Amino acid sequence: MSEDETTQPMFGKVALIGLGLIGSSLSHVMRREGLAGCISGSARSEATLARAAELGLADEFSQDPAEAVRDADLVFLNVPVGAMGAVAERIAPALKKGAILTDVGSVKAAVIRDVSPHVPEGVHFIPGHPIAGTEQSGPDAGFPELFEDRWCILTPLEDTDPQALDRLSAFWRACGSNVEIMDPKHHDLVLGITSHLPHLIAYNIVATAADLEEVTESEVIKYSAGGFRDFTRLAASDPTMWRDVFLNNREAVLELLGRFSEDLSALQRAIRWGEGEKLFDLFSRARKIRREIIEAGQDTEAPNFGRK
């Protein structure tokens, strides 16, 4: 009672289930902003857990996620989308009444489908997705600024407690993010076009290049500054995470892929028939979108992303 209210952390105990890029970044920003009284961490692999301990990412560690969530006021599921259901089932009996359970998965409808059945009465499940990341993964990849000026989408269920939603929103804002509330199905379509399809295309072009007989891999690498190198960054992302995204956002991704392929066929036809005007018009439209992304603070205006 003697403590000033402003020095109280936002949450007493926060559990991080999964200590990769997102989990470790959450730890760093919570430490910097004093958002958690205590952090508990869990990871499936012993190596990750040991490294997370070396880095001081949590105050207590357990390979058992149920152990880690005991008494936690806020629980983050930072595991691949395909693993969410099993983890939720495992931790369910240990969840504290009144706790907020959230996740950071890139797909929302499938996570709701897999996690909801396990959430005990009195626990507030609020699915979430911070639109932030890098191509790196693991406990060393995190940094406290990852979420700054990025959007975090929350997709509450129909019966979500407004007060719990406010508390989670405040948490993300304290991490530097803007919060947006969205319908889960719409989230999956929006992220399908802004994230999932771009990653799929990037993976695909890297595979196409690697398989060419007439051009060696060493040539592809040497001359990659012509554009190809940009795709390799996205394609260097965590394969498990992305496998799960495509398997769990199948419908939206297949629909978008169909449109992409249709558009590509039209472009191919314009090239074959030498329709210069059509190409020029299409290419001219893209500059406007780039400018708007920069104006919205979602990319740097420095040429070449500011790389040398």
Using CB under 8 A as the binding rule, the residues of this chain from 206 to 265 that contact its own copies are 206-212, 214-215, 217, 219-237, 239-240, 242-244, 246-247, 250, 253-254, 256-257, 259-261, 263-264
Least Cβ distance, residue 16 to its own copies (angstroms): 20
**Distance in angstroms between the alpha carbons of the first and the last residue of the chain:** 55
Contact 66, 52 (CB under 8 A): no
Distance CA 119, CA 282 (A): 48
Distance from CA of residue 211 to its chain's centroid?
Answer: 30
Nearer to its own copies, 32 or 283 (CB): 283
Binding residue for its own copies (CB under 8 A) from 51, 70, 92, 136? Answer: 136
Cβ of residue 202: shortest distance to its own copies, in angstroms?
8
Find, among 114, 37, 47, the residue nearest to 72 by Cα: 37
Q: Residue 109: name the closest of 54, 4, 50, 184 by CA.
A: 184
Q: What part of residues 51-90 is at the interface with its own copies (CB under 8 A)?
A: 82
268-297 mask for its own copies (x: CB under 8 A)?
x--xx-x-x--xx-xxxxxx-xxxxx--x-
Q: Report the residue from 102, 125, 150, 155 that binds its own copies according to the rule CB under 8 A.
A: 150
Q: Does 203 bind its own copies (CB under 8 A)?
A: yes
**Under the criterion CB under 8 A, does residue 3 sit at the interface with its own copies?**
no
Cβ-based burial of 46 (10 A; exposed 0-12, middle 13-18, buried ≥19): exposed
- Least Cα distance to 16 among 137, 129, 104, 144 occurs for 104
Q: Do 123 and 151 contact (CB within 8 A), yes or no?
A: no
Which residues in the 112-131 window bind its own copies by CB under 8 A? 131
- Closest to 36 in 3D by CA, of 76, 8, 57: 8
Q: Which is nearer to its own copies, 119 or 247 (CB)?
A: 247
CB of 52 to its own copies, least distance (A): 18
CB of 163 to its own copies, least distance (A): 26
Q: Are strands 74-77 and 100-103 parallel, antiparallel or unpaired?
A: parallel
Applying the rule CB under 8 A, the residues between 160 and 189 that interact with its own copies are: 180, 186, 189
Q: How far is the CB of 156 from its own copies (least distance, A)?
A: 18
Near its own copies by CB under 8 A: residue from 54, 64, 149, 183: 149
Shortest distance (Å) from residue 85 CB to its own copies: 15
Q: Of 124, 147, 165, 168, nearest to 27 (Cα)?
A: 147
Q: Taking CB under 8 A as the criterion, which residues in 19-38 touch its own copies?
A: none
How big is the chain by its Cα radius of gyration, in Å? 22
| Shortest Å, Cβ 55 to its own copies | 16
Q: Which is nearer to its own copies, 119 or 206 (CB)?
A: 206
Other beta carbons less than 10 A from residue 14's beta carbon: 27
How many residues bind to its own copies according to rule CB under 8 A?
108
